[in-house]
Structure formats: structure tokens, C-alpha cells
Amino acid sequence: MFLRKIPSGIRAVFPSYAKINLYLEILRRRRDGYHDIRTLFECIDLCDEISVRLRDDGVIKVSCGYPGVPQDEGNLAYRAADELFKLCGVRDKAGADISIRKNIPPGAGLGGGSGNAAAVILGLNRMAGLKLPFSKLYGIASSIGSDTAFFLHECPFGLGTGRGEKIKPLHRLDKLFFYHVLVFPSVSAPTPLTYREWDRKRSLRKKDVLTKSLNNVKIINSGYSRHVFPGYNGELFNGLESVAVDLYPEVRRVKESFARLGIEANAMSGSGSCVFAVVSSHREASNLARLISGMNRRWRVWTAGTALPRKQQHKEVGRWRSPK
């Protein structure tokens, strides 16, 4: 769509949610260097806050006070705005001031940057009245990051294939709600490094390392799990976890801490380093967060829940429990 006039000055604030991977299976390394995966995404209500103001001078500015987050073309939110305006043929005159208040730490496997990009794509499309079809938005999202397309669907659960960008929203799981405790051990886990280690161990034929999770626990009953993909039995699993615990000892320590507290249903999200637990109630989540916070003062600990479909989203978002 081509705009004759940019509606400069319009400002909007919207949430940018995190994700976790309830199931992550690495299938193979592709010729392009990426990996084919099969994953069950869950959108959770831990979120960043994105503020966007439209400009009519072609300038895109990103501001974020979180250490290490790029504030230039290296930021996925910047790339999202840039690609969207280019697609609409208005890159020379359309711009945006994008302010990001981070709650989702980078390098945690929670899709913070990808979620920011998706939020900007959806937000600008609505704010500027672009009315681009979903297929066009999807094209931008899938070119920016493997997780970005999932956030674009604004669904609680989705099946990801390809490198994660091919999404099948699982609307039959919309009534599912999970309570979580998330622990970020304050160690950033670069995705390429984790996958390179997976490749290395695969080449050594250490299949036991690549296929067995430290905690292989069912969290979804068969009535729901059959809607994910054929053969899925509802288990919590991450195929990268067994290599990540060797690369990042703090990940192992978090998992051992959950084990000492009797929490078997826990797994690493994505390529790490955040580890999450699945519990049965908000009260249990709050109590567990308090206990796990006391075990290591350097860890950041949140309670969170499944982010409901957009029209049902509630105001309460994920909270960072600061160690006392």
C-alpha cells in the first residue's frame, strides 16, 4: 500500500510478549546453516513495553535503556519498521520513534527481540492505516527472525516447523492455561554457539546426548496433545538442553535447584539460558519463585502465565521478583 501522507505524531503503547518452548526437537542442519526444528511455542505474559510515535521525515530511532540492546539497525524492532516502510514504498518519508522498556532479557531464549519486531510490525500496520494483508506481514517477520512469525499470530500456542518460522496456530489449545516460574541465571546464551555445539556432538554420534532430556515430563494430557502433531504425547522436552548445561554451568545449577525443590516439570527455553517450571497454581508459582530467589541472589526470577488470545488478554503481566 502506498501512502500519500504519513500520519505524523500518532503515538501508541503496546505490550511485546515473551515465549517459551514446551517442546523443541532439532531435526537436522540445513545447507543454509540453519536447523530444521519442530517446536511447541507458548506465548506467556511476561512482556516488554513498546512505545511508537510516527514521523514523516524518514528517520527511525530506537531507544532502550537495557544494557547491550542495540539502538540502531542491529535492533530487530528497527529492522521491522525499516522493512515495513520499504514494502509500502514510503521509506524516504516514513519514520518512527521506537522506545523499548525491557523486561525480557536478551540471550534468554524467550524471544524478546523477535517479539519486539512482531509488535512493531503489527503496531505500525494498524497505526498508519496500512492495512497490509497478513501474508505481507508474515514475509517481513519470517525474514527478520525465526521466532518472529509466531508472535505475529497473537495466539497462546503454536506449532513451529522449518527453522521455526512456519507456524500453525493451535486454537484447540486456547483453553489451556499454565502457571510458570522462570529463572534467568544472568548468563546470555548466544543461539549460534548452542547450535554449533549441537552440531559438534551430533558429528561425534553422541545420540544419547542429543535426544534425551534431563527432565522428560508430560504436561499436556492426551486430549490436548493429539492436536499438536502426530505422535506427540504431551511431554516437556528441549533437545538443546543437554548440550547447553555443559556450555553454561549456571543452567545446570538452575535445573538442579528445581530438582532439589521437587519440581520435575522444568526445561530450558529455546537455546537458553532461561529455565522455566510448570506448576499447578498461582500460589504455587509465587511460593516457588520466593524459594528459588533465595537460592541464588544473582538469578532473576519471574512468575508468569499463558498469554490469552488478544481479545481476552488481562492487564497483569509477568513480574520480576527482586531478591530481598
What integer is the mean pLDDT of 251-257? 97
Q: What is the domain partition of the chain in residue ranges?
A: 11-171, 173-321
Q: Give the model's confidence band at 312: pLDDT under 50 very low, under 70 low, under 90 confident, else very high.
A: very low
- Residues 88 and 54: beta-carbon distance below 8 Å: no
Q: Give the model's confidence band at 75: pLDDT under 50 very low, under 70 low, under 90 confident, else very high.
A: very high
What integer is the mean pLDDT of 171-180? 94
Q: Can you tell me whether residue 268 is helix, strand or coil?
A: strand
Q: What is the CATH number of domain 173-321?
A: 3.30.70.890
pLDDT at 247: 95
Convert the pLDDT of each residue in 211-238 to its tens digit.
555 556 889 988 889 899 998 999 999 9
Convert the pLDDT of each residue in 32-67 to its tens digit.
999 999 999 999 999 999 999 999 999 999 999 999
Residue 267 pLDDT more than 60? yes
Residue 117 pLDDT more than 80? yes
Q: Which residues are catalytic?
A: 19, 147
Residue 217 burial (10 A CB sphere; 0-12, 13-18, 19+): middle
Q: At a CB cut-off of 8 Å and minimum separation 6, what does 283 contact?
A: none
Convert the pLDDT of each residue in 6-25 to its tens digit.
677 889 999 999 999 999 99
Q: At a CB cut-off of 8 Å and minimum separation 6, what does 270 contact?
A: 19, 20, 21, 24, 108, 109, 110, 111, 147, 191, 238, 240
Residue 202 pLDDT more than 70? yes
Reading the block at residue 127, the C-alpha cell is: 497505526
Residue 271 one-letter amino acid: S
Mean pLDDT of the chain: 90
pLDDT at 310: 58
Q: Can you tell me whether residue 16 is helix, strand or coil?
A: strand
Least confident of 121-130, 137-146, 181-190, 307-316: 307-316
Residue 205 one-letter amino acid: R
Q: What percent of the chain has pLDDT over 90?
A: 79
Query: Nearest 5°: CA angle at 40, between 38 and 42?
Result: 150
Q: Assess whether the region 11-171 and the region 173-321 belong to the same CATH fold.
A: no
Phi-psi region of 221 (alpha: psi -120 to 50; beta: other; left: phi over 0): beta
CA dist 281 and 177 (Å) reads: 10
Residue 194 pLDDT more than 60? yes
Residue 307 pLDDT more than 60? yes
- Residues 2 and 90: beta-carbon distance below 8 Å: yes
Q: At a CB cut-off of 8 Å and minimum separation 6, what does 86 contact?
A: none
CATH fold for the domain made of 11-171: Ribosomal Protein S5; domain 2 (3.30.230)
pTM: 0.91
pLDDT at 9: 83
pLDDT at 204: 79
pLDDT at 153: 95
